Amino acid sequence: MRLALYCPDIPQNAGTMIRLCACLGLGVDVIEPCGFTFSDASLRRAGMDYLARAAIRRHDDFAAFETARAAAGGRLVLLTTSGDVPPHRFAFRPDDVIMVGRESAGVPPEVQALADARLRLPMVGAARSLNVAVSAAMVLHEALRQTDQFPG
């Protein structure tokens, strides 16, 4: 299982998600361009010393990511406010790639169309969305629970 960050805008969120994956033993795909300079300096505050432990793959663009993902196999599972299935009603697989969109705009329609599944976290009616790192953590927890892949 991997977490894919589509063109992240905010280094603190990216650092938090990279740290999350390092702690859970999951790989991270970062799809460029980022809305910040992708460097240890920009990610350090949230990522702390976990950045060196993370299995990060950087991709020049979505096409490069999709080529690598297709070669490795696994479904593309997108977290989106326009999703139609809540994560607890979705059957995760051990090789799923869970993608979050950019904080400012999500993912473009062509990426939405390529997703094998589009998940939406249930929220109260007036709420639009959760922080992307919080959303990733909630969905990864459910995915790891279902597939019995928690570390240790």
> Domain of 54: which CATH number?
3.40.1280.10
Spatial CA neighbour of 20 closest among 128, 105, 137: 137
- Distance between CA 111 and CA 107 in Å, rounded? 6
pTM of the model as a whole: 0.94
Do 25 and 17 meet the contact criterion of CB atoms below 8 Å apart? no
10-residue mean pLDDT series, the chain (152 residues): 96 92 96 83 66 91 97 96 95 98 94 97 89 97 98 89
Q: What is the structure's pLDDT at 44?
A: 66
CA distances from 99 to 70, 85, 127 (A): 14, 15, 21
The pairing of beta strand 76-79 with beta strand 55-59: unpaired
Q: What is the structure's pLDDT at 47?
A: 53
Q: What is the structure's pLDDT at 36?
A: 80
In a domain, residue 75? The reply is: yes
- Domain span at residue 84 reads 2-147
Please give the tally of structural domains in the chain: 1
